[in-house]
Structure 1
Amino acid sequence: MRLRALNLRRPFLSKPLNALGLMSGTSLDGIDVALLRTDGEDVVERGPAVTYPYRPDQQALLQDALREARPLESRDARPGILAEAERALTAWHAEAVADFLRVHPAAVDVIGFHGQTVIHRPERRLTVQLGLGPLLADRTGIPVVFDLRAADVAAGGQGAPLVPVYHRALAAGLNERPVAFVNIGGVANMTWIGREGELVAFDTGPGNALLNDWCARHTDVPLDRDGALASRGHVAADAIGQLLKNNFFATAAPKSVDRNAFDSSLLDGLSPEDGAATLTRFTAATIAGSAGLVPEAPRLYVICGGGRLNPTLMRNLRELIQAPVIAAEEVGFNGDSMEAEAWGYLAVRSLKALPITFPGTTGASQPRSGGILAKPVK
C-alpha cells in the first residue's frame, strides 16, 4: 500500500488529517493503536482501534528498563538495558502499525508516538519516554510526532496529563457540566471540564500499576482479572491511611506522579486477596478525593482505561463518589483507545503549533505546544 507523505504547507494543515495514535501505557499491557481523522480542534472522527498485548518476554524487558531508569539524571542517557529496550520498543510499534494498516488500510498523514515512560520526575524537570521517532518514521514511511511531554517539563510544567484537550473535544457531545474524565491506566488522572469549557487536570494517584505489581508478586497473573482477587479480600484501612501520607496527596493541582512513587511494601503482611482489596480501595479513594481539587464537584464521571474493566474497582468508585460513575462506552466512547486517539489528536495539534498543555492541566505558565517531527528519509 502506498502511504501519503506529509506536506507541511498551510493549506494542507487547514484540512482534517488522518492521524494514527500509538500509546504504550505505564501499566505495560501492550500497544494501543487508533485511527482518527481530525483538524486538531473541533473535527473528531474516530476510526478503528486495536490493542496489541505485550508478550511476557516483552513485559519483562520493559520491567528491566523501568528498574534501570530509576537513577537517571539525564533524559538523553540510555545506560544498561535502556538502549536495547528503546530500539526493541520502537520495532514493536512499527510492527503494530504495519499489522493495523494491513487490516485497516488508510492513507495516514502523521503518527502520534507516545513511547514508554520509564521515569517521570517533573520536579527535577525530567521525563523520559523510550521510543525512537526517526526510526519509527523510517520503518513505517510515515511522519512521526514524538516526545510530546518534554517541552512542557523543560519549561517547568508537569508534562502530564496531556489528554485533557482531547477530552474537551469529546465532551462537546455531552450535556453534563462539570464533567470529569478519569483515565485509570498505570497511574490515574482526571480531566475536569467546566461549564464554559474550562480545563483542570492532574494525576489523582495510583491506577492499575500498584495492583498489577502486587498480583505479579503474589499470583501467577500480573493483574487482577475482573477484580476477582480483590473481591475475595478485606480492606486494611490502616494501610490505606499510611499510603495516603504520601506527600503527593498534599500537593495542589495540577500535578503528576511517577508509577513508582507509592510503596506497596506496607502491605507485605497481607494475604494476596486482602492486599488486592486494599490497593483497589486505595485507588478508588484517591480518585474520589480528587473532587476537592476542582472548582465544582463533577456531575458525571466518565471512566476510561483498563480500570473501567475491573468490576470491584468500579463498585468502589460508585460507593465513594456522590455522582453517576459510568464507563466510557456508556456515552459512545472507546475506553481502551481514548489515549491512543488523543495522541493522534495531539500530533495534529503539534503540527499546527496549537497548544497541547495549559496552566490548568500541567501548571505551565502559559499554553504551550510541543513535540518533535521526524520525517522518513526513505
Structure 2
Amino acid sequence: MKTFKVIGLMSGTSLDGLDLTYCHFTRTLDRWAYRITKTQSISYSKSMKDKLKNSIYLSADELLMFNNTYGQWLGEQVKSFIKTNALEVDFIASHGHTTHHQPENGLTYQIGSGQHLANACKHKVVCDFRTNDVALGGQGAPLVPIGDRLLFGEYDFCLNLGGISNISFEKDGQRIAYDIGLANMILNYITQKIDLNYDKGGQLAKSGTVNQKMLDALNALDYYKLPFPKSTGFEWFEDKVVPIVDATDESIENLLHTSIHHLCEQIALQVKSNTTKHKSNLLVTGGGALNDFLIATLKTKLGEAVDVIVPSQELIENKEALVFALMGILRIEREINVLCSVTGAKRDSSSGVVYLPN
C-alpha cells in the first residue's frame, strides 16, 4: 500500500488568502483514505489582494508577468512551509488563482506559473487542471467533485461555499456538479464598503432585514435559469450582480441579510429538486460554512428533510486544497481526475500539467 505525500495549494475567488494543505493519501483497492497532517493559511496583503482582484484588467504582457511573479511567490511560500515543518513531500498540486473564466469562449486561466513555482520550491509541481477540460468542450469547473466521489461519498450532497457556491451529487450513476451561483463574493463585496474584509459569523447580516426588491432582482438573474453543466466567476458577478447591489440604497446589514436569503434560497432550490430520498444529508465546506447566520438560514430554507452537516474547521478550510492534492496524484498516476458528467466535456480526462524543478 503506497502512501502519497502531497501539498495542495488553493486560492479562491473570495480572495481571503492562500491555503497550503499537507496530506497523506493511501489507497486500498478502490478506496482512498486521507489524513491532513499540516496546514497553513496565508492572508493576502492589501496590495496582493488588489492585484489579484484587478488582474482581469491587466494587459496581456502585464498578466503574463504577474503569472510568473505570482508563481515565484507561491513557490517561496511552499519552500518556507516545507522547511518550517520538516516535511517529506512527493510533489505540489497547485490550483493557481483564476483570473479569467469564460468557457463559452474556450478560455480559462489560472495564474501561478508552474515552472516558477517548481524552481522556487525545488519540487515537482502539477497545476493547470482546467485548461484541458475546456479544450475538450467542457466548463473546466467544478473540479472538486472527483474528490467528493472518492473521499466523501457517504454524503448525498457536497456543498462548497467559497466566493461562488457549487454543489455535487450522484444522479443515475453519474457525478453531477455545477456552480449554483453566489456565496462569499457578494458578502465580502458588501462588507468592503465599510473597510471590513468579511462579516464574522454573519453577525451584521443577522441584525438586518430583507429588501424584497433586491431579493427579487437577484433571484431573477438569468444564470439561475441555465441548465447544468454550468459554471461562473468574477466576470458574471461584476457584470450582473454588482449593479444590483450598488443600485440598492440600504444599510450594510440589510444588504448582507438580503444576500444571504438569496443565496440560501438558490441552494435550497437545487438540493430539493435533486433529492430522491425521504431524508438526505448535505456536507458544507468553504469559508461560508463558518458564517453562523448563513448556515442557520440554509437549515431553515431546507427544512427537516435535509441534515446540514458542518464538519471540523480544518476540513472546512482545507477541503479544496485536499482535493487538488488528490487530483495531482491521479494525474501523476494517469488516472481520470476530471469528470465529463460534471463539466460537459467530450470525455473524462486526466488533466493537469507537470513541471520539474530546474
Give CA-to-partner distance per residue, 1:266-289, whole Å, 9 cap, x none. Answer: 233122111111112222122111
Distance 1:355 1:295, change over 3 A: farther
Does the CA contact (< 8 Å) of 2:100 and 2:108 recur in 1?
yes
Q: What is residue 230 of structure 2 aligned with on the other side?
A: 255
Q: What is residue 350 of structure 2 aligned with on the other side?
A: 369
Q: Does 140-149 or 270-279 show the bigger shift?
A: 270-279
Does the CA contact (< 8 Å) of 2:67 and 2:113 recur in 1?
yes
> SS of 1:19's equivalent?
strand
> SS of 1:43's equivalent?
strand
Matched, 1:44 2:33: yes
Superposition deviation, residue 209 in structure 1: 0.7
TM-score, length basis structure 1: 0.86
Distance 1:237 1:290 in 2: 21
Does the CA contact (< 8 Å) of 2:186 and 2:259 recur in 1?
yes
- How many residues are aligned here? 347
Superposition deviation, residue 91 in structure 1: 2.7
Superposition deviation, residue 238 in structure 1: 2.3
In structure 1, runs of 5+ residues without a counterpart are 1-13, 69-76
Does the CA contact (< 8 Å) of 2:79 and 2:120 recur in 1?
no
Does the CA contact (< 8 Å) of 1:18 and 1:38 recur in 2?
yes
Q: How does 1:329-348 map to 2 (within 5 A)?
A: 329=312, 334-348=315-329
Residue number among 243, 255, 265 corresponding to 1:265 in the alignment:
243
Q: How does 1:117-266 map to 2 (within 5 A)?
A: 117-172=98-153, 174=154, 179-193=156-170, 198-216=174-192, 218-262=193-237, 263-266=241-244
Does the CA contact (< 8 Å) of 2:72 and 2:113 recur in 1?
no
Q: What is residue 309 of structure 2 aligned with on the other side?
A: 326
Distance 1:295 1:67 in 2: 41
Give CA-to-partner distance per residue, 1:198-241, whole Å, 9 cap, x none. Answer: 4111111011011111211x212122122122112111122122
Partner AA of 2:312 in structure 1: E
Superposition deviation, residue 295 in structure 1: 5.9
Distance 1:367 1:113, change over 3 A: same
TM-score, length basis structure 2: 0.91
Residue number among 262, 265, 268 corresponding to 1:285 in the alignment:
265
Partner AA of 1:325 in structure 2: V
Identity level (%): 29
Does the CA contact (< 8 Å) of 2:272 and 2:302 recur in 1?
no
Distance 2:273 2:127 in 1: 30
Residue number among 328, 332, 353 corresponding to 1:351 in the alignment:
332
Matched, 1:22 2:9: yes
Matched, 1:56 2:59: no
Q: What is residue 276 of structure 2 aligned with on the other side?
A: 296
Distance 1:197 1:36, change over 3 A: farther
Distance 2:276 2:335 in 1: 28
Superposition deviation, residue 42 in structure 1: 2.7
Partner AA of 2:50 in structure 1: A
In structure 2, runs of 5+ residues without a counterpart are none
Superposition deviation, residue 121 in structure 1: 1.0
> SS of 1:142's equivalent?
coil
Distance 1:157 1:280 in 2: 30
Give CA-to-partner distance per residue, 1:284-316, whole Å, 9 cap, x none. Answer: 122111125536367011110100011111111
Partner AA of 1:190 in structure 2: I
Does the CA contact (< 8 Å) of 1:202 and 1:256 recur in 2?
yes
Higher helix content, 1 or 2: 2
Does the CA contact (< 8 Å) of 2:337 and 2:350 recur in 1?
yes
Distance 2:212 2:244 in 1: 12
Residue number among 96, 99, 109 corresponding to 2:80 in the alignment:
99
Superposition deviation, residue 328 in structure 1: 2.3
Partner AA of 1:310 in structure 2: N
